[in-house]
């Protein structure tokens, strides 16, 4: 499939008639052609025919960026430079949104397009009616050879191209070779949901390399299990496991979008007990629908858009409540995908909830047991896909993968179980789980069902391993892993929150999102204006723009592990409080109650706190800063000794101090 609507050498472009070029653009256009789009293309062709007379190279109109679900207006390859042109036809102002837009396109090529990694990339924003003015172009591009976006009008554009080329040394880019480069993106879960919902495949928006089991392969394996179960009238449960950021949720979303039609026998529903994740993904999809409809000059109310996407991603608790209404009726879905299935409640927590909230006094099933029983009501076939993260249980009553296995063992001997033997991390308690399963006759082991490599960070795959080693106090292993990460994935350490904020803002380019995350137990960060008890709206925090005080960009509201789990930012500040303290005897676990810190003694609560920091430390895609405050000797709740040992431990791991 061609990446652009029109591609040609600059020589042939100049020699072709405007009508011929326009005809090819119209032929490749997948939507009904609006007059405004046609007029824009005509103006762009006219401008470029005048601008490119002195040059040779290649030209691409409407170059596809699947991760973003958008297209670059025009991409030029001239000499050793890739020019990314974003036209604002008839505009006289350079908006901050447009500035970030063209920067994002350039960064996408730099980060994810194989043959663009080492090339000079110059993003240019062209407001055709802007006043003629001197355009400053830095002679020193960013360290990764990506220029700051250059503002231009129609008159300045020839000078912009000429000046950039005069600054740029390097070998001439072979456009034929460049075109063959693989596009290997690592989208955020929000970007992935929008791309999949709009018809892109998981192959288009995910990496495809030898270092990890491919997400497409995992998705195909799950799809095969679903089809086989239907064809053979069997009930199956499939466990997709993986390290934080490996792409488990992406696999689930891909299956859900593949079988989104409710009239289809393979209709699937994506369920999550993660309230913030559900709310954010729904709102992101709804806003995207409204935006796309507006681009086509149509009208779609945000309320209508929200209603349309609601069926695609559902809260597991709504699904559970619907199944409670009639205990014998099977759900409409034969296939359900449970995201973060390790967070399903154990028997004690489920029974307590049913008694207090639902008035059911004698409820005797754990949440995994009940959810399996709902699908078991089907007479013919059913499939449950559990997306499970190891060491991700962060709240009271979350049972982990073991309760799903126990429920199968206890009540559902006829269900077929699909799982990977590669699930060998200690966080899963995998040895006992696999030992239990091997006694069943209908267990099928498939290595494709475990995702061992983090895909969250396209800069470094071993972040989750580094965090695991730090939390397990394996200092030598941590030091070795950190050396592998540097310098592509910077992690710095500081004792000053303001320094951390400045570092974040300096690192981020374009619309790259950054924010502060903290443990929900971090109650003595209030003197730094970090109040974990102050409610933040995750939708505004994750989705709103830089100008909105409620967004993560403003660095005022903070996200705890409950709001951030399953999601990610490009750059993260982890603010570390005295709830989780390093000592020579191991980690100490504390809870602030009233006016003092109290020891946490229950092993379950200790594990939740450790997992909370695991979540916080694995949210960054490109790098992070860790803040361990100095404390205050005048404040007994912030005694410096509560913080110093943690800071020294992290310093010994080898993090750069700022």
Q: What is the DSSP string of 221-283?
A: HHHHHHHHHHHTT-EEEEEEEESTTSSHHHHHHHHHHHT--TTSTT-EEEEES-HHHHHHHHH
Say how many domains are in the chain. Answer: 3
Q: Which two tokens stand for residue 581?
A: 């303290």
Residue 579 lies in a domain: yes
Beta bridge partners of 148: none
Comparing 9-13, 118-122, 389-393, 572-576, which segment has the lowest mean pLDDT? 389-393
Between 481 and 343, the more confident residue is 481
The single residue listed with the structure tokens 């004792």 is 495
Mean pLDDT of the chain: 88
Q: What is the model's pLDDT at position 297?
A: 62
Packing angle, helices 430-437 and 401-411, rounded to 10: 20
Q: Which of 156, 179, 202 is the last residue of a domain?
A: 179
In a domain, 458, yes or no: no
* Both tokens assigned to 387: 């997306």
Residues 6+ apart with CB under 8 A from 411: 369, 372, 373
Closest CA to 111 of 616, 552, 573, 510: 510
Distances (CA, A) of 312 to 39, 198, 249: 36, 12, 14
pLDDT of residue 588: 97
**Quick check: 218 pLDDT over 60?**
yes
Helix 367-376 to helix 316-325 angle (10° resolution) is 60
pLDDT, position 293: 80
Residue 505, pLDDT score:
96
Give yes or no: residues 269 and 372 share one domain.
yes
Residue 144 in domain: yes
Q: Burial, 325: exposed, middle or buried (Cβ in 10 Å; 0-12, 13-18, 19+)?
A: exposed
Residue at which a domain ends, from 131, 147, 179? 179
Domain of residue 580, CATH code: 3.40.50
Whether residues 193 and 101 share a domain: the answer is no
Q: Are residues 170 and 198 in the same domain?
A: no
Residue 309 in 3-state DSSP?
helix
**For residues 207 and 322, which has the higher predicted lDDT (pLDDT)?**
322
Q: Residue 453: pLDDT above 50?
A: yes
Closest CA to 196 of 247, 246, 250: 250
Decide if 360 is inside a domain.
yes
Collapsed DSSP state (helix, strand, coil) of residue 98? helix
- CB proximity list for 589: less than 8 A, separation 6 or greater: 579, 580, 599, 600, 605, 606, 609, 610
Distance CA 500, CA 617 (A): 15
User: What pLDDT, on the 0 to 100 scale, is given for residue 198?
Assistant: 77
469 & 428 share domain: no
Is 378's pLDDT higher than 80?
yes
User: ∠ CA(231), CA(233), CA(239), 5° rounding?
Assistant: 90
Element (H, E) at 592: strand 588-593
Q: Before 264, cis peptide (omega within 30)?
A: no
CA 254 to chain centre: 14
Domain of 330 in residue numbering reads as: 189-451
pTM: 0.85
Compute the C-alpha angle 420/562/323, nearest 5°.
65
Instruction: Supply 6's token pair.
Output: 């029109």
Based on the domain organization, do 412 and 494 belong to the same domain?
no
Q: Which residue has the higher pLDDT, 126 or 205?
A: 126
**Percentage of the chain modeled with pLDDT above 90:** 61
Choose among 255, 267, 269, 187: nearest CA to 221. Answer: 255
Tell me the C-alpha distance between 217 and 206, whole Å: 11
- Looking at the fold, whether 214 and 278 belong to one and the same domain comes out as yes
The pLDDT of residue 205 is: 65
Give me the pLDDT at residue 212, please.
47
Whether 457 maps to a domain, the answer reads no
Q: Is residue 276 part of a domain?
A: yes
Asked if 315 and 339 count as a contact pair (C-beta separation under 8 A), the reply is no
Alpha-carbon span 508 to 512, nearest angstrom: 6
202 and 165 in one domain? no
CA distances from 507 to 32, 501, 649 (A): 40, 10, 25
Strand partners, 127: 88
> Is residue 80 domain-resident?
yes
Q: Please check whether residues 364 and 497 belong to one and the same domain.
A: no
| 387 and 509 together in one domain | no
Characterize the bridge pairing of strands 588-593 and 416-419: unpaired
What is the tens place of the pLDDT at every residue in 277-316? 999 999 998 998 888 787 666 678 888 888 888 877 888 8
Q: Which of 427, 451, 475 is the last residue of a domain?
A: 451
Residue 140 has pLDDT above 50, yes or no: no
In three-state secondary structure terms, 636 is helix
For residue 370, which of 322, 440, 308 has the smallest C-alpha distance?
A: 322
One domain for residues 413 and 470: no
Dihedral sign from CA coordinates of 594, 596, 597, 600: negative
CA distance 428 to 404: 12
The reply to whether 432 and 481 lie within a common domain is: no
For the chain, the straight-line distance linking the first and the last C-alpha, in angstroms and rounded, comes to 47
List C-alpha distances in Å: 437 to 229, 399, 440, 513: 19, 17, 5, 42
Task: Tell me the per-residue pLDDT of 1-47, one tens digit each, with 9 for 90 and over.
Answer: 578 999 999 999 999 999 999 999 988 887 667 788 889 999 999 99
Determine the pLDDT at residue 566: 85
Q: Is residue 1 part of a domain?
A: no
CA distance 277 to 456: 16
Nearest-10 Cα torsion for 493, 497, 500, 506 = -170
**223 φ, ψ to 5°?**
-60, -40
Residue 144 sits at the vertex; the CA angle it makes with 142 and 145, to the nearest 5 degrees, is 65
Give the CATH number, domain containing residue 140.
3.40.1350
Q: Give yes or no: residues 583 and 618 share one domain.
A: yes
**What pLDDT is attached to residue 211?**
43
Local structure of 7: helix, strand or coil: strand
Whether residue 567 has pLDDT greater than 70: yes
């Amino acid at each position: 499939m061609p990446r652009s609507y029109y591609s040609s050498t600059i020589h042939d472009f100049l020699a072709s008639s405007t009508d011929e070029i326009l005809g090819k653009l119209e032929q490749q256009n997948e939507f009904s052609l609006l007059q405004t789009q046609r007029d824009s293309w005509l103006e762009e062709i006219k401008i470029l025919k005048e601008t490119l007379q002195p040059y040779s190279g290649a030209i691409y109109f409407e170059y596809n960026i699947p991760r973003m679900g958008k297209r670059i207006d025009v991409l030029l390859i001239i000499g050793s430079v890739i020019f990314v042109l974003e036209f604002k036809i008839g505009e006289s102002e350079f908006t901050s949104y447009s500035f970030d837009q063209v920067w994002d396109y350039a960064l996408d090529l730099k980060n994810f397009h194989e043959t663009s990694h080492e090339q000079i990339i110059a993003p240019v924003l062209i407001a055709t009616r802007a006043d003629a003015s001197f355009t400053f172009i830095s002679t020193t591009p960013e360290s990764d050879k990506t220029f700051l976006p250059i503002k231009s009008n129609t008159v300045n554009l020839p000078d912009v191209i000429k000046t950039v080329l005069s600054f740029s040394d390097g070998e001439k880019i072979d456009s034929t070779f460049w075109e063959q480069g693989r596009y290997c993106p690592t989208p955020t879960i929000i970007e992935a949901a929008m791309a999949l919902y709009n018809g892109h495949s998981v192959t288009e928006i995910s990496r495809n390399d030898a270092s990890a089991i491919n997400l497409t392969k995992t998705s195909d394996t799950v799809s095969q299990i679903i089809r086989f179960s239907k064809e053979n009238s069997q009930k199956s449960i499939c466990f997709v496991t993986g390290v934080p950021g490996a792409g488990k949720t992406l696999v689930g979303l891909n299956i859900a979008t593949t079988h989104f039609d409710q009239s289809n026998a393979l209709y699937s529903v994506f369920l999550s007990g993660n309230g913030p994740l559900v709310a954010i993904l729904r709102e992101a999809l709804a806003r995207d629908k409204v935006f796309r409809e507006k681009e086509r000059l149509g009208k779609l109310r945000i309320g209508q858009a929200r209603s349309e996407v609601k069926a695609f991603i559902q809260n597991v608790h709504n699904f559970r409540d619907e199944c409670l209404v009639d205990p014998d009726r099977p759900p409409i879905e034969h296939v359900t995908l449970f995201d973060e299935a390790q967070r399903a409640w154990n028997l004690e927590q489920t029974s307590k909830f049913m008694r207090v909230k639902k008035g059911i006094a004698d409820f005797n099933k754990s949440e995994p047991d009940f959810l399996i029983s709902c699908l078991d009501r089907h007479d013919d076939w059913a499939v449950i896909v559990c997306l499970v993260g190891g060491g991700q249980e962060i709240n009271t009553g979350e049972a982990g993968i073991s309760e799903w296995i126990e429920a199968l063992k206890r009540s559902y001997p006829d269900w077929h179980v699909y799982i990977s033997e590669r699930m060998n991390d200690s966080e899963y308690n995998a040895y006992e789980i696999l030992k239990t399963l091997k006694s069943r006759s209908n267990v099928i082991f498939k290595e494709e069902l475990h995702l061992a490599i983090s895909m969250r960070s396209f800069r470094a795959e071993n972040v989750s391993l580094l965090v695991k080693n730090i939390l397990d106090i394996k200092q030598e292993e941590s030091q070795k892993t950190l050396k592998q990460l540097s310098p592509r994935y910077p992690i710095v350490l500081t004792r000053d929150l303001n320094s951390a904020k400045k570092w974040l803002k300096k690192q981020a380019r374009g619309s790259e999102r950054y924010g502060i995350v903290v443990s929900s137990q971090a109650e003595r960060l209030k003197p730094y204006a970090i109040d974990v008890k102050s409610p933040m709206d995750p939708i505004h925090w994750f989705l709103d723009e830089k100008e909105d005080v409620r967004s993560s960009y403003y660095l005022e509201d903070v996200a705890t592990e409950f709001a951030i789990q399953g999601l990610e930012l490009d750059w993260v500040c982890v603010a570390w409080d005295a709830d989780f303290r390093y000592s020579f005897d191991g980690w100490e676990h504390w809870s602030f109650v009233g006016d003092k810190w109290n020891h946490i003694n229950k092993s379950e609560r200790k594990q939740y706190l450790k997992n909370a920091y695991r979540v916080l430390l694995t949210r960054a895609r490109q790098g992070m800063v860790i803040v361990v405050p100095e404390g205050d000797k005048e404040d007994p709740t912030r005694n410096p000794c509560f913080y110093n040992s943690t800071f020294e431990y992290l310093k010994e791991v080898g993090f750069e101090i700022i």
